[in-house]
Amino acid sequence: MKRQGTLIRWEKDRGFGFIRSPDIPADVFVHLRDFADRGAAPQVGMKLSFEEIHVGGKGPRAMAVRAASATQQAERRRASEAPRRKTDPSNGRAREAAQTSSSLPVALLLAIYVALLGYGVWTARLPPIALGVLLVISLLTFFVYGFDKGAAEAGRWRTAESTLHMLSLAGGWPGAWFAQRVFRHKIRKPEFMAVYWTTVLGHFAVVGAWVGKLLPASLLGA
């Protein structure tokens, strides 16, 4: 829930403090990483806006913390831009075109992947059950991304990025790609996405080498 308050205590060396709000009976814990704007150092007496959450039965905690003046400026900017976005149909068309163009390479990649798996089953290099296993891994990856997104918003325990990458490498990369778009999760982190596409290429290389008989069947006990 959106709240307003004043920073009454700040431990600079430890990176946390407390906000007092007239709408909340207890002081609200806030950590440095919960500030949306890292440009200004927190100072006692600052007027802040924040989202109030509760984690694990503990006291209230602040998330998405902003200086009240910065919040007001952002709201005025959004209000001034809203009419322009509504009256300019090119914005919607440009956004749709960008989404379509970014989806085309992945659609082609998925088609190649399906063809590669189909060829592997047809040549008996892959057992049919492998298709079901890969589908399950992809669905599992999709839901793990969704869980991690919810945990990030609620301040709960997060899934390690290495786990997400291992799932992609194991064959869950299609589910990961869809989850990134559906949940709007991780796609704004260039370092993460670079590793993600490396796992996609790595998975393709292993499957292609196996289906193409570049790897001996004894490696998988066949």
Structure confidence at residue 75 (pLDDT): 58
Q: In the chain, what are the domains?
A: 2-73 (2.40.50.140), 103-220 (no CATH)
* Alpha-carbon span 169 to 36, nearest angstrom: 32
* Alpha-carbon span 38 to 219, nearest angstrom: 51
Structure confidence at residue 203 (pLDDT): 95
Structure confidence at residue 130 (pLDDT): 93
* Alpha-carbon span 153 to 63, nearest angstrom: 9
CB 170 within 8 A of CB 203: yes
Residue 68 tokens, joined: 């009240």
- Terminal C-alpha separation, the chain: 57
Low-confidence residues in the chain, pLDDT < 70: 38-40, 56, 69-102, 215-222
CB 118 within 8 A of CB 112: no
CB 185 within 8 A of CB 145: yes
Structure confidence at residue 119 (pLDDT): 94
Q: Please give the backbone phi and psi of residue 161, each rounded to the nearest 5 degrees, phi first.
A: -60, -35
Q: What is the DSSP letter of 217?
A: G
* Alpha-carbon span 77 to 57, nearest angstrom: 37
CA 119 to chain centroid, in Å, comes to: 33
Structure confidence at residue 120 (pLDDT): 93
* Alpha-carbon span 222 to 220, nearest angstrom: 6
